[in-house]
Structure 1
């Protein structure tokens, strides 16, 4: 049975790449690439995403192989996004986050653009006592910055004068716009030109 390391080595040879070239593309050392190929350890997070991008294959092919073992799977089903702090997310529209600034990456199967990130929810303002949708504190949400923020969407937004972001439901009522919590114990926040919508929440990442 072909191992992860054997698939990586095969892909590297097919694409006529050296371990140094693969390492530079994936922001790791050539020694690390050698460890991958010898199955000492496996690529994870951003390195795994970049490896799949370099060889133009699906992440699942690298990890598990194609179903018929004849050819790599080309269609992406899993994407890896950076898990940002609230401050990083608040600055996301001003500059792209450098890979070196990210400590953790999250795998997701949500349909998202490449300009997406994950965020851990702080506080219980989106905890809905009446049922779904509900986003408890410490939940990990997947945010797409290229998704259009329409009425009723749950968004990540930054109020002018702050560095951090908030997660709320966007409500548009004629000329009036609000950021509405799902928890009725909290008040809605009126917004006009004092708010930047960072992105739309595509879903809550559940980890068991």
Structure 2
């Protein structure tokens, strides 16, 4: 039984010439912030509870639950490589604290949202991993279920956009699976 807490700072104003977003040197985060590789150690708060059963020669079974939030609501969502997924979640790159939250562009979309309208939660994730060793090779079979948080849902299912410009609704969940082998010598 275990738990984990991770924090990578974010930047409330990406246009002011000061960088306060944390950036790790190597973005190899597989297995650290969920198995589905949806986030980097940048502008994030990750909380996890997990349970691992070690069956010795029968292998290991691990179940983990993750909640991943933004550290700063105004900053963006950074993918597993550390690249900004601009437009994938609610953000305000210039920290528009007092702007009218419903001013729209000519296309009907919110240009820069006020901080009041920004979401905090990026996603929740459930991971199930079974691994075993056979003849010097470690095999792992895993699956993840991801559920979009309010920062993603508010951007993609944006009710503030005029109906004539609104895109279709998206399903706020995804599945990810893998089979991995690692040679150990």
Shorter-chain-normalised TM-score: which range?
A: under 0.3
Q: Which of the two has greater strand per residue?
A: 2
The alignment's TM-score, normalised by the length of structure 1, stands at 0.22
Larger radius of gyration, structure 1 or 2? 1
Q: Which of the two has greater helix per residue?
A: 1
RCO higher in 1 or 2 (8 Å CA, sep ≥ 6)? 2
The alignment's TM-score, normalised by the length of structure 2, stands at 0.24
